[in-house]
Amino acid sequence: MAQLLVLSATAESEVLPALGLLIHRVRQIPAEPANLVNAPGHDLIFLDARRDLAGAKSLAKILVATGLSAPLILVVTEGGLAAVSAEWGAADIVVEGAGPAELDARIRLAIGKAKQVEGSDKIHASGVVIDEASYSAKVNGRPLDLTYKEFELLRFLAQHPGRVFTREQLLSEVWGYDYFGGTRTVDVHIRRLRAKLGDLEALIGTVRNVGYRFNIDENADSLTNSVSE
């Protein structure tokens, strides 16, 4: 099941009714740049270009310029097909009224191709994308301003989802055996990471009297693990 995000200026109507017949989780938000900052985690984006081709093209360019981390599929009318080009940065196009079988196939192909392009040097987890090659990370497409140790800590935890690590283990794995500082530095970095993750802070869970772990959940807000220290 994929997490699908629909961007549309016409929130009162369903952009692709056939999506409701599929098992994927669909969320729709207004197609405005300001809403993209806190957009829910997603594997693929549908951009509604049926009514406003110029506005949709501008938004598509913004998505690409800010580092689009998920494939983009345009929803157009038959007449709008002629206006779409590679300049939009979209992975695919679908005409309004497409049936569930066609939509499901396009979703699978777009997500599959994106994963092949990304290769094995990226870690994906509930809206967080960690790029080991460039030492960068994004949350819902928004770049995270991480220090080197914050990145290393996030990467290490994300590479072992669900596994609990003590502060001593994290010091050894992330800071190295030759680090002589106290375990409090782990707590400080965890706190900073959570602050930078924002709404997804619950991805880093606390196991009381033990340590920390990276939680995997498509809806971070529903995590029951406590994030208090």
- The predicted-structure confidence for 1-28, as pLDDT tens digits, reads as follows 889 999 998 766 789 999 989 999 999 9
Confidence (pLDDT) at 126: 66
Confidence (pLDDT) at 178: 62
The answer to whether residues 33 and 99 belong to one domain is: yes
The answer to whether residues 72 and 128 belong to one domain is: no
The answer to whether residues 107 and 139 belong to one domain is: no
Confidence (pLDDT) at 200: 85
The answer to whether residues 97 and 52 belong to one domain is: yes
What are the Cα distances from residue 148, in Å, to 152, 153, 154, 195?
6, 9, 10, 16
Q: Tell whether 228 is covered by a domain.
A: no
Structurally, how many domains does the chain consist of? Answer: 2
pTM of the predicted model as reported, rounded to 2 decimal places: 0.54
> What are the residue ranges in the chain where pLDDT is below 50?
218-229
Which residues fall within 8 angstroms of residue 61, CB to CB, at 6 or more apart?
87, 88, 89
The answer to whether residues 99 and 146 belong to one domain is: no
CATH code at position 137: 1.10.10.10
The answer to whether residues 106 and 154 belong to one domain is: no
Confidence (pLDDT) at 117: 66
Q: Please tell me whether residue 143 adopts helix, strand or coil conformation.
A: strand
The answer to whether residues 104 and 129 belong to one domain is: no
* Full residue range of the structural domain in which residue 135 is found: 122-214
The answer to whether residues 26 and 77 belong to one domain is: yes
Q: Tell whether 227 is covered by a domain.
A: no
Q: Tell whether 219 is covered by a domain.
A: no
Confidence (pLDDT) at 12: 64
The answer to whether residues 114 and 199 belong to one domain is: no
